[in-house]
Amino acid sequence: MDASLNQQLSLAAVAMSGAALFFSLLAAFPGLKSVLAAVRDGVLWFSLFLVLGAGGFLVWKQVTNQPSASFSATNAVDSPTTATSPPQAGR
């Protein structure tokens, strides 16, 4: 993972958790509690999907960038497939 992507994901996580904290503190007011609680829950769900999606994307990038261990005809060793031995006398 490159440094800029790591920094962007870290900043996004900090921003989302800061927004969630802000809405949690605002939800303490009784008159706005139900509205702000719904907004807070939306922010928390969005940040959860963002973190899980970014993690899944990074795993997918790691899996697709790995070289595959496939066997091809060009990698085969040129050797005879059957070995012949001289006939043995007396048998």
- Tens digit of pLDDT for each residue in 13-60? 888 888 888 877 777 777 777 777 788 888 889 888 888 988 898 888
Query: In this predicted structure, what is the pLDDT of residue 40?
Result: 82
Residue recorded with tokens 């963002």: 50
Query: In this predicted structure, what is the pLDDT of residue 83?
Result: 56
- For the segment 40-52, what is each residue's pLDDT rounded down to a tens digit? 888 889 888 888 9
* HEC readout, the chain: CCHHHHHHHHHHHHHHHHHHHHHHHHCCCCCCHHHHHHHHHHHHHHHHHHHHHHHHHHHHHHHHHCCCCCCCHHHCCCCCCCCCCCCCCCC
| Average pLDDT score over the chain | 76
